Structure 1
Amino acid sequence: MIKKILIAICIISIVSCDSSDDEGSRSNNNFNYLPLTVNNNWEYEVKTGTDRSTETLTVSSVTGNEYTCTSNPTTAVGFMTQVLTGGTLRAESGKLIGNGTIDFGLLGLNNFNVAITEGTLYDQNANPRTTLYSTNGTTSQTLQGFDINFNYEAKTVQQANVSQMTVEGVTYTDVIHSQLIINATVTTEINIVVTQQVPLLNSQDIIVIDNYWAKDIGLIKSDNQLDYMLEDFSSLGLSLPVPQSASILTEQSLTSFTVN
């Protein structure tokens, strides 16, 4: 369902939990909110509505101070699994930093990749609501005869620490919370008397991914919320091959792990 909607709107795009947020930052030098040791692995259940799947994230190699991860199956469903396997990772000064490419072809956007350079996914010493990284760009796709153009911004934001969280019946303490947010503006050319650029989607945060990282464990939960509301063209007699709106939650939850 998500894939179909993402294809349709051509926009880029963590089970039960109890949490309490502690405002303020922490300052320490423990970098193990994603322990990067070769063969460490995490198994997740990914749920969207009634759809269920499982996947495993594994630290596969190290070169210098940079690590790579792989997933099983190779084509992961969990968006953060895709992000964490899209290039190299390193832990530095309390941060998890990624370099590589996020391939949105996995979500139906063919030939569309976003390059990430020194992208901070979390910073355990940052203040809440601190923007850690941002990148922006433009791309175009053709959808059923419509040339769809959109501008996007992808950014990561540190949020308040979580003192305790329960995921799949397991309670974790000392959890940090970060977000990956994708904002988009979508336009197309339509011939109404004359050819003109019209907005399909005004600037909106279409994807907000809340990531929770437990000390000495790794990513324990990732909630991927897709929301959008298109402009209403019904008065013009214009029918677009897309749903007018959507609100879809995908939950990626840790079920087991091996950490050395």
Structure 2
Amino acid sequence: MLNKILYAFCIVALISCDSNDDNDGNMTNTDFNYFPLSVTNTWDFEITTGTDTPSNESLTVETVSGTEFTLISDPIAPTGFMTRILSGGALKSENGALIGNGNIDFGLQGLNNFNVAIENGTLYDQNANINAELFSTTGTTSQTVDGYDLDITYEVRTVQQEDIAQMVVEGITYSDIIHSQLIINATVTTDILTQQIALLTPQDVIVINNYWSRDIGLIKSDNQLNYQLSDFSSFGFTLPVPQSASILTTQNLVTYTVL
């Protein structure tokens, strides 16, 4: 269950976002749209985790009001992380940035009503400099999994990466691509016989690379989970998860309809 908990850390990355890039005095560029806003615009994705059988899901623009919009997913409870993010609340396109607000219930097995409020969470900023940190936040949460009380401390930051001229996804060539990255560092501790032990020392457990193409939207999202648990065998207990893991989940755009 611990690896599923680590996936849930991702969503807290959108909480309490603090922008700090200065663009080196460059003028704000809002000429290009990296998430076209028209009702019924639809994006179909293929989701693959490791060697599992791929699954398919879609995002559709449901409402548009000025620069604010909402998306719905099919299925309603999607497995793709970015599908959940984008369909989990209200979005707005503002000054070249995509910003999210709302509440998301992950509903993952082993988590107790993991509802997270998103407030002004920037997903990308087309005017940010390379390696600029778009926002960062820290926090703590507690979860009980299989009878173990786990205390989770996380640090999250989002970084704008270098633009990409072209990328091929599922046989289709896309141009003018924004690349943004979400990094989640986490620590997990628990109390055993009045002694606190670290199950997971501070690690970048999740790195998500998102790619957004001009006039198209999200074309690819690579979600890499890595962790290495501490050796706590001397305490005489085990957790129902592997000692370490490296799991890649890809979300690739297959077809789209953009007006």
Q: Name the TM-score, length of structure 2 as normaliser.
A: 0.87
Give the match's secondary structure for 2:241: coil
Does residue 116 of structure 1 match 2:118? yes
> 1:62 is matched with which residue: 61, 64, 84?
64
Q: What residue in structure 2 maps to residue 163 of structure 1?
A: 165
Shift of 1:242: 2.3
Equivalent-residue separation in structure 1 for 2:132 and 2:149 (angstroms): 36
Summarize deviations over 1:137-157 as a string: whole Å, max 9, x none.
211111222111101233321
Summarize the Cα distance change of 1:203–1:102 in structure 2 as closer, same or farther, 3 Å threshold: farther
Matched residues in 2 for 1:104 and 1:6: separation?
14
- Residue range with higher mean Cα deviation, 210-219 or 130-139: 130-139
Please state how far the C-alpha of 1:170 moved relative to its aligned partner. Answer: 0.6
SS of equivalent residue, structure 2 residue 9 = coil
Structure 2 residue 93 is matched with structure 1 residue 91: yes
Which residues in structure 2 correspond to 1:67-216 (within 5 Å)? 67-106=69-108, 108-191=110-193, 195-216=194-215
Query: For residues 222-237 of structure 1, what are the structure 2 equivalents within 5 Å?
Result: 222-237=221-236
| Secondary structure in structure 2 of the residue aligned to 1:216 | coil
Question: Is 245-254 or 125-134 further displaced after alignment?
Answer: 125-134
Question: Cα distance, 1:64 vs. partner?
Answer: 4.6
Kindly indicate whether the alpha-carbon contact (under 8 Å) linking 1:26 and 1:124 is maintained by their aligned counterparts in 2: no
Per the alignment, residue 21 of structure 1 pairs with: none
Structure 2 CA distance, aligned partners of 1:241 and 1:8? 13
Q: Rate the CA distance shift 1:162–1:94 in 2: closer, same or farther, 3 A.
A: same
Using the alignment, how far apart are the partners of 2:58 and 2:139 within structure 1? 31
* 1:26 Cα deviation after fit: 9.3
Cα deviation per residue 1:49-105 (whole Å; 9 max; x = unaligned)? Answer: 232100110110124532110000111111000000111111111100111133332
**What's the offset of the Cα at 1:116?**
1.7
Matched residue SS, 2:127: coil
| 1-structure distance, mates of 2:132, 2:182 | 12
Aligned residues: CA RMSD: 2.1
User: What residue number does 2:53 align with?
Assistant: 51
TM-score by length of structure 1 reads 0.87
- C-alpha separation between the residues in 2 aligned to 1:77 and 1:108? 16
Measured after TM superposition, the shift of residue 249 of structure 1 is 0.4
Partner of 2:249: 250
Q: What residue identity is the alignment partner of 1:234?
A: S
Answering whether residue 31 of structure 2 is matched by residue 30 of structure 1, we say yes
Which protein has the bigger strand share? 1
Change (3 A) 1:108 1:146: closer
**Aligned partners of 1:135, 1:158: CA distance in 2, in Å?**
16
> How far apart are residue 136 of structure 1 and its match?
2.8
Write the deviation string for residues 23-49 of structure 1: whole angstroms up to 9, x where unpaired: x99963224101122111100011112
C-alpha distance in 2 between matches for 1:158 and 1:78: 21
Q: Using the alignment, how far apart are the partners of 2:215 and 2:116 within structure 1?
A: 30
Give the 3-state SS of the residue equivalent to 2:83 in structure 1: helix
Residue 45 of structure 1 aligns to which amino acid in structure 2? E
Cα 1:109–1:73 shift into 2, 3 Å: same
Contact kept in structure 2, 1:42 and 1:257, CA below 8 Å:
yes
Q: What runs of 5+ residues in structure 2 fail to find an aligned partner?
A: 11-23
**Count of aligned positions:** 244
Q: Residues of 1 paired with 2:72 and 2:195: CA distance?
A: 45
Instruction: Report the identity percentage.
Output: 59
Structure 1: segments with no counterpart, 5+ residues: 14-23
1:115 Cα deviation from its structure 2 partner: 1.9
Query: What displacement does 1:7 show?
Result: 4.0
Kindly tell me: are residues 159 and 205 of structure 1, through their superposed partners in 2, closer, same or farther at Cα, counting changes over 3 Å?
same
CA contact (8 A) 1:6 1:109 kept: no
Task: Determine if contact 1:26/1:126 at 8 Å carries over to the other structure.
Answer: no
